[in-house]
A = this chain, B = another copy of it.
Amino acid sequence: MKPEHIRVPALPPLPDQDHSDCRAVASVLARVGDKWSVFVIMMLTDGPKRFNELKRMINGISQRMLTLTLRGLERDGLVTRTVFPTIPPRVDYELTDLGRGLAAPVKALGEWAFAHLPEIEGARSNFDSRNSD
Is the CB–CB distance between B110 and A108 below 8 Å? no
CA distance A53 to B99 in the complex (A): 37
Q: Which of B12, B15, B109, B120 meets A106, CB within 8 Å?
A: B109
Which 9 residue pairs spanning A and B have beta carbons closest together?
A33-B33, A77-B123, A15-B60, A25-B110, A28-B113, A105-B109, A75-B127, A24-B113, A24-B114
Q: How many residues of A contact B (CB 8 A)?
A: 54
Question: In terms of DSSP, what is the predominant structure of the interface of chain A?
Answer: helix
Is the CB–CB distance between B112 and A102 below 8 Å? yes
Q: Which residues of A contact B (CB under 8 A)?
A: 8, 12, 15-19, 21-22, 24-30, 32-35, 38-39, 42, 58-61, 74-78, 98, 101-102, 104-106, 108-110, 112-114, 116-117, 119-120, 122-124, 126-128
